[in-house]
């Protein structure tokens, strides 16, 4: 069995995640600049999360094309990733509505840590049976190192949020910058 159905299912779930995130944005109570300015934390949280989810989607697309066939491990690893991604709208709204309170930022970091781990696990499952060219194997090793670095950085953002919310946000911006362009297989 091919991976087209897994990719189509994932695309649908990710589309729903993005839709839920935008629906969490509330229209200001009035048309004043003050009311719009009060929404800045929510809008910035949304923009960051949209970028994170979009980059995950692009890289997921490229990663799924590396899978030779669907296995139970691949299906469950993909579902694990989608579960953690499905919590991003909640933590995005939480972080925006609390104006970046340390607990909200730590929670956001924890969910992104788990999503990053889910992505790393998915990559590992796909690469287990890869006995391809040495070029492809080296690209996979580089990608896995970058995935592990992302896991460590996201995990460090959780306790760091209680020391410096700004440093956690720096991590949240650094990781998407690392992944802006997808890995080439």
pLDDT in tens, 37-59: 989 999 999 999 999 999 999 99
Q: What are the φ and ψ backbone dihedral angles of 32, each rounded to 5 degrees?
A: -80, 155
Cα distances (Å, whole numbers) of residue 126 to 4, 63, 75, 177: 14, 8, 10, 24
Q: Is the pTM value of this prediction over 0.85? A: yes
Give the model's pLDDT for residue 81. Answer: 98
d(CA 142, CA 60): 16
Whether residue 74 is predicted with pLDDT greater than 90 in this model: the reply is yes
Contact of 51 with 173, CB cutoff 8 Å:
no
173 vs 184: which has the higher pLDDT: 173
d(CA 51, CA 115): 14
d(CA 144, CA 138): 10
| Mean pLDDT of all residues belonging to the chain | 90
Query: What average pLDDT does the segment 146-152 reach?
Result: 96
């Amino acid at each position: 069995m091919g991976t087209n159905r897994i990719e189509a299912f994932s695309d649908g779930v990710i589309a729903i995640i993005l839709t839920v995130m935008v629906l969490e944005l509330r229209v200001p109570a009035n048309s004043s600049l003050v009311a719009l300015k009060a929404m800045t934390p929510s809008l910035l949280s949304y923009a960051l999360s949209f970028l994170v989810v979009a980059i995950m989607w692009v890289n997921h697309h490229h990663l799924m094309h590396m899978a030779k066939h669907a296995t139970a491990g691949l299906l469950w690893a993909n579902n694990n990733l989608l579960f953690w991604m499905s919590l991003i709208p909640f933590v995005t709204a939480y972080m925006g509505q609390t104006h970046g309170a340390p607990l909200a930022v730590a929670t956001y970091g924890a969910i992104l840590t788990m999503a990053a781990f889910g992505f790393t696990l998915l990559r590992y499952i796909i690469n287990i049976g890869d006995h391809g060219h040495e070029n492809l194997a080296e690209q996979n090793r580089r990608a896995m190192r970058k995935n592990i670095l992302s896991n460590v950085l996201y995990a460090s953002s959780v306790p760091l949020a209680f020391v410096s919310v700004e440093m956690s946000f720096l991590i949240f911006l650094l990781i998407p910058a690392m992944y802006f362009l997808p890995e080439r297989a």
